[in-house]
A and B are shown apart, each in its own frame.
Chain A
Amino acid sequence: MAMPTSGTAVLTTPADEQILITREFDAPRELVFRAYTEPDLVSRWWPGRRGEMKVCEIDLRPGGRWRYAMLAEGGFDVAFHGEYREVVPGERVVFTEIFELPDGTFSEATTNTATFVEAEGRTTLRLLTETSSREVRDMILQSGMEGGVQEGLDILEELAIGLR
C-alpha cells in the first residue's frame, strides 16, 4: 500500500450507446493484462468489496467463452458470461458480455473492448462497452449492483455542484 493511489475509475459516455471506463495503473501492461485475464487474479478484484467470486472461467482465445459469477453480500448471485472475439495478448481483448438476469433470462449482449496502453512503466486500461441503444446502456449503468444510473446528464452534473 506504499504507492500513491492511481486514482479513481473515470467513467464517461462517449456516445449515447457507449460506456467508457479508464484507469491508470502503476505497472507494466503485461502485468495489467495478466490481472485482467487470469482467473485466480480476476477473482480477487471483480467482485469489488461486494461479495465472493464463485465462478471465474476464462477461455482466452477467439471463440472461447468466459463466465463470472459472484455471491453478493445480501445472498444473491450476480453472473455474467460471454465470448471472446479478439485476443491480442498484452494489448487488446474484444468480447461480448451478457448479464444473467435473476429470472433466468439473459440481457442483450454488449460488445466490450479492453485496451492496454503502456507509457513510462504505467498502463492505462480502457474498457469500452458498446450497446445497441441508449436505453440498454442506461440499464447497464442502472444495474451497478446497487442500482446505479448514469443519466449522463450535464444538468445533473451542474446541479450536483449545488447539492454538495
Chain B
Amino acid sequence: MARAATTSDAFNAVAEPRRREIIAVLARGERPVGDLVAALGATQPQVSKHLRVLREVGVVHARDEGRHRLYRLDAGALRPIHDWVKEYERLWTERFELFDDVLDDLKKEEGDGDAD
C-alpha cells in the first residue's frame, strides 16, 4: 500500500541515530549545516548525507538565504511515525477492551454459581 511505503521510508530515515540527532537539533529551530556539524561533532559530508535522506522523505526542508542554506524540520512528516508508535499499543488496547467483556461474563458466571 502507498501509505506503508511512504511511512516506512520516513521510519528508515529516523531509524539512524545520527539522523535522530539532526532531528533533535532542528526541533529547536531552523539551522545552517555548520550548526549541525558543530552540534553533532561530525564532518560536513556526513551531515550532508544524512540531511539528503531526511529531505528525500520530507522530514527536513531546506531554503537558501543569502549565502546560507537553512534546514528546518517538518514535524508533520513525522506524524505517521508517531501514529505507528501508538499502533501496537492500540492493538493491545483493543484486545484488552474485549478481554474486559470476557471477564464481565466470567464474573457473571461465577456470580450465578455463588449464593451472593
- Hey, what's the 0/1 contact readout for A6-46 against B, CB within 8 Å counting as 1? 10111100000001010101110001101110000100111
Task: Report the stretch among B36-44, B47-55, B97-105 that lies at the interface.
Answer: B97-105
A88 to B41, CA, bound (A): 52
**A9-B84 in contact given A44-B102, A149-B11, A163-B75 (Cβ < 8 Å):** no
The chain A residue with its CB closest to the CB of B73 is A159
Contact status A162-B98, CB under 8 Å:
no
The chain B residue with its CB closest to the CB of A123 is B103
Chain A interface secondary structure, helix, strand, loop or mixed?
A: mixed
Number of residues in A with C-beta < 8 Å to the partner? 49
A150 close to B (CB within 8 Å): yes
Contact status B99-A146, CB under 8 Å:
no
Number of residues in B with C-beta < 8 Å to the partner? 40
The chain B residue with its CB closest to the CB of A22 is B92
| Closest CB in chain B relative to A36 CB, distance in Å | 8
- B69 surroundings in chain A (CB, below 8 A): none
Contact status A11-B82, CB under 8 Å:
no
| Closest CB in chain A relative to B3 CB, distance in Å | 8
Task: Report the stretch among A79-87, A104-112, A137-145 that lies at the interface.
Answer: A137-145
Chain B interface secondary structure, helix, strand, loop or mixed?
A: helix
A118 close to B (CB within 8 Å): no
- A10 surroundings in chain B (CB, below 8 A): 89
Contact status B11-A45, CB under 8 Å:
no
- A148 surroundings in chain B (CB, below 8 A): 84-91
A34 to B105, CA, bound (A): 12
A127 to B75, CA, bound (A): 32
A155 close to B (CB within 8 Å): yes
Contact status B103-A48, CB under 8 Å:
no
Contact status B98-A48, CB under 8 Å:
yes
- A3 surroundings in chain B (CB, below 8 A): 100, 104
**A159-B96 in contact given A11-B89, A148-B84 (Cβ < 8 Å):** no
Binding site for B on A (CB under 8 A): 1, 3, 5-6, 8-11, 19, 21, 23, 25-27, 31-32, 34-36, 41, 44-46, 48-50, 127, 138, 140-142, 144-153, 155-160, 162-163
Binding site for A on B (CB under 8 A): 4, 7-8, 11, 14-15, 20, 23-24, 27, 75-76, 78-79, 81-82, 84-104, 106-107, 110
